[in-house]
């Protein structure tokens, strides 16, 4: 692991985004509440929050962080859902991996819950949208 002991503790935030494209039958199942496993959107939201808090257990050499806030939102798009995760921490290192992990696990949860209905779902465009705090300062992806 990288030694971050000499770095200053600062308030840090990262926002990540991803998408899952879902076919008509899957979208209809979500919107009608007829998915056999339950509500994929709520399950994905909770899974994303849990994943952000456990990122260091899954990514080698990733520092465990005292995450103070995680928000995972799923919004409908024309052909699926957009997932946006916001994670905040006061720490010596950034929280980008936690935000990216939250988005990734959220879309995988939707996939898992719908795979019996739609085998052609596509997960994609998972990326960091912005980060603040730390020595390197702010970053915002230009869209």
- The residues assigned a catalytic role are 112
List the Cα angle 43/14/102 in 5-degree steps: 20
The two structure tokens encoding residue 89: 């921490």
Say which residue the tokens 């995988």 belong to.
108
- The encoded tokens of residue 126 equal 């998972």
3-state secondary structure of 33: coil
């Amino acid at each position: 692991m990288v030694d971050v002991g000499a770095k200053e503790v600062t308030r840090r935030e990262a926002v990540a985004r991803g998408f899952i494209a879902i076919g008509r039958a899957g979208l209809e199942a979500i919107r009608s509440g007829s998915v056999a496993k339950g509500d994929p959107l709520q399950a994905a939201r909770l899974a994303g929050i849990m994943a952000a808090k456990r990122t260091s257990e899954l990514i080698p050499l990733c520092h465990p962080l005292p995450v103070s806030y995680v928000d995972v939102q799923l919004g409908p798009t024309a052909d699926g859902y957009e997932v946006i995760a916001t994670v905040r921490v006061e720490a010596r290192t950034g929280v980008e991996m936690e935000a990216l992990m939250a988005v990734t696990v959220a879309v995988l949860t939707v996939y898992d819950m719908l795979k019996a209905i739609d085998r052609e779902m596509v997960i994609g465009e998972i990326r960091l949208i912005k980060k603040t705090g730390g020595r390197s300062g702010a970053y915002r992806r230009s869209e």
